[in-house]
Amino acid sequence: MSFRDKLCSIQKKNNSLLCIGLDPELNRLPAFLQNNNNALFAFNKAIIDATSDLVCAYKPNMAFYEALGANGLKQLEDTISYLKEKHPDLPVILDGKRGDIGNTARLYAQMAFSYFNADALTVNPYLGLDSLEPFLKYQDKFIFVLVRTSNPGAKDFQDYLVGQEKLYQKIAVKLKSLSNDSQIGIVVGATYPEELKELRKLLPQTVFLIPGLGTQNGDIEKTIQYGIDRRAEGIVINVSRTIIYASDKDDFGQKAREEATKFRHLINKYRR
Amino acid sequence: MSFRDKLCSIQKKNNSLLCIGLDPELNRLPAFLQNNNNALFAFNKAIIDATSDLVCAYKPNMAFYEALGANGLKQLEDTISYLKEKHPDLPVILDGKRGDIGNTARLYAQMAFSYFNADALTVNPYLGLDSLEPFLKYQDKFIFVLVRTSNPGAKDFQDYLVGQEKLYQKIAVKLKSLSNDSQIGIVVGATYPEELKELRKLLPQTVFLIPGLGTQNGDIEKTIQYGIDRRAEGIVINVSRTIIYASDKDDFGQKAREEATKFRHLINKYRR
């Protein structure tokens, strides 16, 4: 099944466009977990158990695991294995923002799609189209290309004017020249609703992965209004810190569920 | 000691601007190593033992380790630990090409500089200046920012005209606005000597990390002629596959030494 079909199917079943970012930082976890050698996995498991019926995907960001070296990566592996076993219908979006020359990108594709068995990977377009191609050889997998990111510095280079268009718009359009653009989505921050609106015009049927709600203060109403692809919905809205750190006590799973319920409801309120 | 001082010192001692890329791919290693659970480390150790007096740095690319998950990352850790113990004067450049929003980049910095204790990390500028700042908080560490990469697709976006300059030139100049630009170098491919020449004009004193010789067929003479910063040299020339895969038999260490000797000599021939 294609990533897009898998995504549409779970979005209907769970009535949700919400994705939870599994970004566990050791010193922000509940104190009773911090001395556990598998703290990241134990934390993720509790978050997943508490929220799996409220979401359309989970998105672990690799930085939070790699900061702990091999042990961290083992816990990322355990997290994805747990998801694949318990919730095979929920796509896993690995957030690595990888990008390298073709010969090396091939190894990152192997890492994401073969070793970790993720459904999708976020990638960085700066190295050009040949750096994206190795990922597209995995035909049932998917990439989200960074186009307009959610951080304040996004404007530094992404907004440069290239002729009449901005760099991020040029990149978005160029992605359509790749042979299998049905395997390509884009990342665009909820913190920039006008840019989101423009991008939806340029790419009417593309899946958008939208971070930046919650801690980063993106605008939910505009994100939905501007981001929705009327034919197939085609958006995944990621929230990380506001949900996973809703409590630092042993009720963190329950509190995460309450926050996730709130976000799902708010998003659905603006959908129609 | 600053990265730059450390680099200059070993460049003098070993009379070398050559860096070897430690990019071990399991199925390209000598057959007798492939069933070893620590094959990547065993391979790296042999390459290091055979070449450490011929180089000014080693550059492991993370993709080749992550493709094997936690076990791969453990072998990256073992490789860097071995280097730090046996050759503390040789800088380790971790090639991760990382880039994420500030809060996440902080974790990548922790990974590279605190967990792995690398001396430098390659980073991707697409997310903007705030995505680089967390790395610069480690004052004795260094980043190499991707500016003009060595692959054919480099031209796709990096060459876009932004006003009168190309995107990669704008980015190169913008790096000078960061508070601690003595901790910032750039990556520029040997496959593009004219671009290298332009960048040296723009950044006369910056350290350049130059991949693309060897398998990628970059031009050694022009690389040296155009890349050298006359005051402090300031270039690191990386070769990976042509050296580490010089033989797939049990003489691979010796053959790597012969190739590294050739490259060091060729580079020095054009230095004067």
Pairing of strands B142-148, B184-188: parallel
Which of B25, B100, B164 to mutate: most A Cβ within 10 Å? B100
Helices in chain B by DSSP H: which ranges? 3-13, 31-34, 39-51, 63-66, 69-86, 102-109, 133-136, 154-158, 167-174, 193-202, 220-227, 241-244, 252-271
3 state SS of A236: strand
| Chain A positions in Cβ-Cβ contact with residue B98 (cut-off 8 Å) | 63, 97
Tell me the per-residue pLDDT of A149-158, one tens digit each, with 9 for 90 and over.
Answer: 999 999 999 9
B239 within 8 A of B212, measured Cβ to Cβ:
no
Domains of chain A: 3-269 (3.20.20.70)
| Chain B positions in Cβ-Cβ contact with residue A64 (cut-off 8 Å) | 104, 107
Asked if A101 and B160 come within 8 Å (Cβ–Cβ), the reply is no
C-alpha angle B18-B21-B25 in degrees, rounded to nearest 5? 155
Q: What ipTM, to 2 d.p.?
A: 0.97
Asked if B115 and A67 come within 8 Å (Cβ–Cβ), the reply is yes
Tokens representing B61 are: 């690319």
Strands (E), B71-223: 93-98, 120-123, 142-148, 161-162, 165-166, 184-188, 208-210
Residue B217 has a pLDDT of 77
| Chain A positions in Cβ-Cβ contact with residue B146 (cut-off 8 Å) | 126-127
Structure letter (DSSP) for residue A188: E
Shortest CA gap A231–chain B (Å): 30
Does the active-site annotation cover A97? yes
| Chain A positions in Cβ-Cβ contact with residue B149 (cut-off 8 Å) | 101, 126-128
Residue A147 has phi, psi (to 5 degrees) of -120, -65
Element housing B177 (H / E): none
3 state SS of A91: coil
pTM for the whole structure: 0.97
Residue B235 has phi, psi (to 5 degrees) of -130, 150
Q: How far apart are the first and last CA of chain A?
A: 27
| Chain B positions in Cβ-Cβ contact with residue A126 (cut-off 8 Å) | 124-126, 146, 149, 157-158
The one catalytic residue among A97, A170, A197, A255: A97
Of B71, B74, B131, the CB nearest to A151: B131
Q: What is the pLDDT along chain B (272 residues), one digit of tens a residue?
A: 899 999 999 999 999 999 999 999 999 999 999 989 999 999 999 999 999 999 999 999 999 999 999 999 999 999 999 999 999 999 999 999 999 999 999 999 999 999 999 999 999 999 999 999 999 999 999 999 999 999 999 999 999 999 999 999 999 999 988 888 899 999 999 999 999 999 999 999 999 999 988 877 788 899 998 988 766 678 999 999 999 999 999 999 999 999 999 999 999 999 86
Which of A64, A107, A144, A215 to mutate: most B Cβ within 10 Å? A107
Which of A80, A100, A176, A186 to mutate: most B Cβ within 10 Å? A100
Of A67, A124, A129, the CB nearest to B124: A124
Shortest CA gap B5–chain A (Å): 27
